[in-house]
Chains A and B, each alone.
Chain A
Amino acid sequence: MLTEYLFYFFSVLAVFASIMVLMSRKPIHSVLYLTLAFLAIAGHFILLNAQFIAIVNVIVYAGAIMVLFLFTVMLLNLNLAVEQKKTAIIRITAVLAAGLLFLTITGASKKMDLTFKQEEVLTQIGLVKNLGKILFRDFRLPFEVSGILFLSAMVGTVMLGKKTGD
């Protein structure tokens, strides 16, 4: 019973925070609401027994990425800027298009057969020990390639952020 209440609580929280990201006028409020949405999704991960993913979500998203966003907002001093809006017709069309996408995906998933046999619930697959084994046994090459990806991203960021000319 408690599980269901927690599921719906986190769901409502995530959807509300995501909508508020789009509704708030100042970018800094958007960043804070986005952090709230990430924390709600981390709560979902804990409910699903995915403890490692939950912790990584909090550290990487709510920690590192949001700090990066906050730094950019403060660096550019965007709070003073008044945001221009798109024209009303574009906004209405965008919301309509998003609603149609929602209808399409939910309609398609209604037809899907999502029932599958489940003998027993394994509560251990989300732990670091288990995931680390999988990661270093079956996914060794992607893991190394992601290191190269990070290196190239770092080089690219330094190249872009460097002042050129003066």
Chain B
Amino acid sequence: MQEITQTVTTIPIQHYVLLCTLLFVIGVAGVLIKRNALVIFMSIEIMLNSINLLLVAFSVYHNDPAGQVFVFFVMIVAAAEVAVGLALVVMVYRHTHSIDIDFLNRLKW
């Protein structure tokens, strides 16, 4: 256990930056590529989680607990966002019998 929890001394922070950037970019690509509203929500969750990981990594490397409290608030906002978003998805499905977001283009032009 002593060995496991010494990540800070062995892994450089640049690796965390790279990993979180990769996860964030995967989320961005998902939002741009997919047409299914549910999968777009999941991509947004991936993006939020990558930011959480980066915040925790910097908080630990700086010995500052405020970063972890921020992650807590990010999780609160994400939970509220998912609840409202899924209710919206259900409502859209009731009206159009599909959750394809390309049908919802009436406000586009």
Q: Mark B29-70, 1 if CB is under 8 A from A, else 0.
A: 110111110110111011001001100110111111110110
Mark B residues whose CB is within 8 Å of A: 3-11, 13-15, 17-19, 21-30, 32-36, 38-39, 41-43, 45-46, 49, 52-53, 56-57, 59-66, 68-69, 71-73, 75-84, 86-91, 93, 98-100, 102
Q: Provide 9 A-B residue pairs closer than 8 Å at the C-beta atoms, listed in order of the A residue.
A: A21-B39, A30-B39, A53-B56, A69-B38, A97-B28, A126-B65, A126-B68, A131-B68, A135-B69
Contact A118 B61 (CB under 8 A): yes
Contact partner of A14 (CB less than 8 A), chosen from B8, B10, B19, is B19
A27 to B34, CA, bound (A): 11
A31 and B43 CA atoms in complex are apart in Å by 11
* Known contacts A125-B65, A157-B84; A18 and B7 CB within 8 A of each other: no
CA distance A85 to B17 in the complex (A): 32
Assess whether B60 is in contact with A50, with CB atoms less than 8 Å apart.
yes
Interface size, A (range):
35 or more
Residues in chain B near residue A154, CB distance under 8 A: 83
- Given A2-B3, A65-B78, A138-B66, the answer on whether A98 and B32 have CB atoms closer than 8 Å is yes
Footprint of B on A, CB under 8 Å? 2-4, 6-7, 11, 14-15, 18-19, 21-22, 27, 30-31, 34, 37-38, 41, 44-45, 47-50, 52-53, 56-57, 60-61, 64-65, 68-69, 72-73, 75-76, 78, 81, 83-86, 90-91, 93-95, 97-99, 101-102, 105-106, 109, 114, 116, 118, 121-123, 125-126, 130-131, 134-135, 138-139, 142, 146, 149-150, 153-154, 156-157, 160-161
